[in-house]
């Protein structure tokens, strides 16, 4: 990917700035690909992330704080995401009987079902995004990204 060509710069961009722009362009491309894969299911990347977190709870409820801490993209609108998923029937919310201030969120059968439908398509999308890398290169890339 030629950063200067993509952003139509006629001057060479300094390496540090070029690296940041390059990472941003790649992240945007990945977001576009994943959003496109999720579009037929009418859920956003963030909603998918919430559903995945709740599936990982293996039937145990999670609260908003737990979900927010585990989100790939940290944000303050977790409540809004959960509300949208409730409207779609993918999660349920109830007040904890032992502590009325605590709200418990669970994934529904419908939420599990849509995740099962998405899994294969997302796997294909991820493979398409990473098609130009072999396993050794992916390990090296992850090692480099861990330096962040």
Domain made up of 42-121: CATH architecture: Orthogonal Bundle (1.10)
Arithmetic mean of pLDDT, 11-34: 92
Domain ranges within the chain, ordered by starting residue = 1-41, 42-121
* DSSP string of 22-82, one letter each residue: HHHHHHHHHHHHHHHHHGGGT--HHHHHHHHHHHHTTT--B-HHHHHHH-SS--S-HHHHH
Q: What is the model's pLDDT at position 55?
A: 97
**What is this structure's pTM?**
0.87
Q: What is the model's pLDDT at position 1?
A: 65
Q: What is the 3-state secondary structure (H, E, C) of 120-147?
A: HHHHHHHHHHCCCCCHHHHHHHHHHHCC
pLDDT above 90 covers what percent of the chain?
69
pLDDT digits (tens, 9 = 90+) for 84-117: 999 999 999 988 777 777 789 999 999 999 999 9
């Amino acid at each position: 990917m030629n950063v200067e060509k993509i952003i139509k710069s006629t001057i060479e961009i300094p390496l540090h700035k070029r690296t940041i722009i390059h990472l941003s362009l790649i992240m945007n491309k990945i977001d576009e690909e994943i959003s496109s894969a999720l579009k037929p299911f009418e859920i956003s990347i963030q909603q998918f992330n919430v559903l995945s977190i709740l599936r990982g709870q293996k039937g145990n409820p999670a609260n908003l704080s737990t979900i927010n801490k585990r989100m790939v993209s940290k944000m303050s609108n977790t409540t809004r995401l959960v509300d949208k998923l409730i409207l779609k029937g993918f999660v349920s919310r109830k007040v904890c009987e032992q502590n009325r201030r605590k709200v418990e969120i669970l994934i529904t059968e419908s939420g599990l079902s849509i995740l099962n439908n998405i899994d294969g398509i997302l796997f294909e999308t991820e493979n398409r995004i990473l098609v130009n890398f072999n396993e050794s290169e992916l390990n090296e890339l992850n090692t480099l990204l861990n330096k962040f």
